[in-house]
Amino acid sequence: MKCRVIAVLGTRPEAIKLALVIHQLRQRSEEFETAVVHTGQHRTMLDNALKLFKIKPDFLLDVMRPNQTLSSLTARVLDTVENACHHFEPNIVLVQGDTTTAFASALAAYYCKIPVGHIEAGLRSGDIYNPFPEEANRRLASVMTEIHFAPTALSRDNLLLEGVPSEKIVVTGNTVVDTLRALSDLPHSWENTPLAGIPRNDGRLVLVTSHRRESWGPDQENMCLALKDLVKKHPDIRVIYPVHMNPNVRSTVNALLQGTERIHLTEPLGYIDFVSLLRSCFLVLTDSGGIQEEAPTFRKPVLVLRKVTERPEASQFGMAKIIGMSREAIVSEADRLLTDTDAYQDMSEGENPYGDGHSSERIVEAVSRWHQKKTPLLEADKQFKLPPRPLPRRRKSDLEAAVAMAATAGKE
């Protein structure tokens, strides 16, 4: 019998990261019957992403309400996804990441006694309020999960420390790398997009995104003031900041940055537009977890505007640095990369530590083997392994110091 699969998504990042998994499932139609559940947590942005990937939802739940609370959103997702499960009767429900949609859908599947496959499992910051509510969402989803699709070995180790049996974990890589590779070679123009009119070749572009709840208020203000400092100090840079739709973000950003020379505030970008900007930029400042995973594909250094990250691999590989949201730190760290060629090169070398473009294939193969009761879910040599870690560049000052030390030693 075919394996009946529900794939649940509610936000644009979920659509981006599930798109090729859904395509892989539908390509293997002799094995799988697949239904896509769209909760509508991010309606407009998600609809545009689904159109890009030619995915038509089978269940459209429309859970969003004006000024909703997390608890009311959770309750509506829980109720509507449970109804979809009763209607479709899946063998497994696939959820992605750490959104309210992912957590509440996992809970709905659990209430229906349907196994859960958690894609991007095992990410941990160690602080349930940072990021909020994502850290709690992903931890709670893990409790109800049957198959944990960990993107990296570090995520697998986090799950093992929490007592998850190793036979229920598959290291897949992150599916966003699959999507980036599929889209990155497509020709793209900035005409008729929110980026229209911004010069692409007139100086270096700095891409900025910041929208997390824990950054609202003074931290967001500090970040905006730091951006003003940077464009004043570096006349050759342009800051491009696609501003999140949340009014808490927009009110602060617009009040402090609107009208500032060489700071371009745009509406949120379609994913193809964003990928084009990411490829074109010199440097990224962001509090987004997804961009931390995406930027290394194009070897773009990332300054992480957070205190902690659940995605430390890029930092460990020297491709990202966690700097927080103080005005001084943002200016200092960005200035270093804008002025020090060696420091910049150190952060823009190496392969993406989050994936190799085959994550979706691994996930679907593991679900197939699970349905057929085969073990292991995926052979060890077929799971994702981190690429070699690049060696740090030896700066001229380092070499001069080594030569001087050798000369001194020869005289003793």
Please give the positions annotated as active site. Answer: 98, 120, 134, 211, 213, 244
Q: Cα angle at 176 between 173 and 179, to 5 degrees?
A: 120
Token pair 């709670």: residue = 140
Tokens of 198: 């911004």
Non-local CB neighbours of 287 within 8 Å, separated by 6+ positions: 209, 210, 211, 212, 215, 304, 305, 306, 325
Q: What are the backbone dihedrals phi and psi of residue 280, each rounded to the nearest 5 degrees, phi first?
A: -90, -20
Non-local CB neighbours of 86 within 8 Å, separated by 6+ positions: 112
Q: Quick check: 266 and 242 in contact, CB under 8 A? A: yes
N-term to C-term CA, the chain: 80
**Which of 290, 303, 302, 209 lies closest to 11, judged by CA?**
290
Amino acid letter for position 104: A
Q: What are the backbone dihedrals phi and psi of residue 372, each rounded to the nearest 5 degrees, phi first?
A: -85, 5
Q: Quick check: 92 and 367 in contact, CB under 8 A? A: yes
Q: Quick check: 315 and 347 in contact, CB under 8 A? A: no
Distance, CA of 307 to CA of 284 (rounded, Å): 16
Amino acid letter for position 63: V
Give the count of beta carbons closer than 10 Å to the beta carbon of residue 4: 17
Q: How many helices (H) and strands (E) does the chain have?
A: 16, 13
Reported as type and span, the H/E element at residue 207 is strand 204-209
Q: Cα angle at 111 between 110 and 113, to 5 degrees?
A: 60
Q: Which alpha helices (H) appear in 193-352, and where do they start and end? A: 218-233, 247-257, 271-280, 289-294, 313-316, 327-339, 341-346
Distance, CA of 112 to CA of 82 (rounded, Å): 7
Among left, alpha and beta (phi > 0; psi -120 to 50; other), residue 341 is alpha
Q: Is 349 exposed, middle or buried (0-12, 13-18, 19+ CB in 10 A)?
A: middle
